[in-house]
Structure 1
């Protein structure tokens, strides 16, 4: 049940990020949040892959999913900051 609610929440966030992704977040703030949350403790073997996140929108949803599951307490703008940082460092998606 908890997983279903998390997926529903991530889906709602994905739908709401359509307007957000037009403007990227702050990658420096995202890098700091990424380090504070120790994200690489889970993402060590293959840090980040485009297989599960084939677009910037899906990347935002994935960061949101981690935010909810790990209870980091990030706000939507902070999720966008982390996604922007990850995009600049690993994914290289064009943000339109």
Structure 2
């Protein structure tokens, strides 16, 4: 029984590693490509763009659309998984959809 518990725990950990890696990738992409522009727009560290009262992101789909729009405006050639990684990071950090 104990071996089965260890095996299941190990499998669960392995299953979550890609999600952890994607969240880290999203955080890194965001820091490297988004923060400076947002800081210029909102001041401070730029996070106010996510926490302002009149934000227009109200669900996961609109978040991914906005991330793609920002990437395009910055001439970033992001793949879909990179857009999703940044959206995952923002969702976890600011939105909680």
Shift of 1:81: 0.2
Structure 1 residue aligned with 2:84, among 80, 87, 94?
80
Shift of 1:43: 2.0
Which residue number corresponds to residue 48 of structure 1?
50
**Equivalent residues of 1:40, 1:47 under 8 A apart:** no
* Correspondence 1:26 to 2:22: yes
Shift of 1:47: 3.0
Q: Count the aligned residue pairs.
A: 69
Return the index of the structure with the highest Cα Rg: 2
Would you tell me which structure has more helix in proportion to its own residues? 2
Q: Give the TM-score of the pair, scaled to structure 2.
A: 0.63
